[in-house]
Structure 1
Amino acid sequence: MAWVYLLVAGIFEVGFATSLKLSENFSNWPYTLGFFVCAGISFGLLVVATKHIPLGTAYAVWTGIGAFGTALVGMLFLGDPITVGRIVFLVLLIGSVIGLKLVSPNP
């Protein structure tokens, strides 16, 4: 169950990173609120996950999911450039996250 919490925490990391961009330096209140809600949920679930998953592994997976998802949102919805190099390295990143899961002890 800890890995599910970690996955959801990573998804909420995408939410808070995206909301941070869209909040326009915390001047757009709906996105500012979204940032704080998503950040709270993300960090809370990360804390729960680290009770059963080693901290270094959990943090690397959490940031990897967040980085991958945020880059994807940026490319699909916010006009970030889509290049072959970016796609290749994002695939490598998610492969590394999966690899960490595979080599970690199951709680």
Structure 2
Amino acid sequence: MHWTALIFAGLFEVSGVIGIKGVSQRKGLAYLALLIASFTASFSLLSYAMTGIPMGTAYAIWTGTGTVGSALVGMFVFGEPKEWRRVLFISMILCAAVGLKVLT
């Protein structure tokens, strides 16, 4: 259950970043509500996950999930560059997160 909470915390972090992007571009209240709700849920789930997963591992997985998810959303939704080096380093972050899960 802690691992599930951690994955959802990372996904909520991604939606919070989408909220940041929306607020910075459109200044809409819906994006502000998305930002606040997403980061509240993300931090709450991360806090819960840390009760059963070591802090360093949980934080690394959370930031890795948020980084990879935000980069992918940027590339596929917001038209950011999809060059091979960027994809390579995103893959390396993902492999590191899986490695931490295997070791824990």
Give the TM-score range, shorter chain.
Answer: over 0.9
Structure 2 partner of 1:86? 86
Structure 2 partner of 1:62? 62
- Contact 1:6–1:49 (CA<8 Å) still a contact in 2? yes
- Contact 1:26–1:32 (CA<8 Å) still a contact in 2? no
Deviations 1:57-87 (A, max 9, x none): 1000000000000000000010111100011
| Matched pairs, number | 104
Structure 2 partner of 1:71? 71
Q: Does 1:95 align with 2:89?
A: no
Q: Does 1:8 align with 2:8?
A: yes
The runs of at least 4 consecutive aligned structure 1 residues that moved more than 4 Å come to: none
TM-score (norm 1): 0.94
TM-score (norm 2): 0.96
The secondary structure found in structure 2 opposite 1:23 is helix
Structure 1 partner of 2:39? 39
Question: Cα RMSD (Å) of the superposition?
Answer: 1.2
Query: Structure 1 regions of 5+ residues with no counterpart?
Result: none
Cα distance, 1:18 vs. partner? 1.3
Deviations 1:14-66 (A, max 9, x none): 00011111112783110010000000000000000000101111000000000
The secondary structure found in structure 2 opposite 1:80 is coil
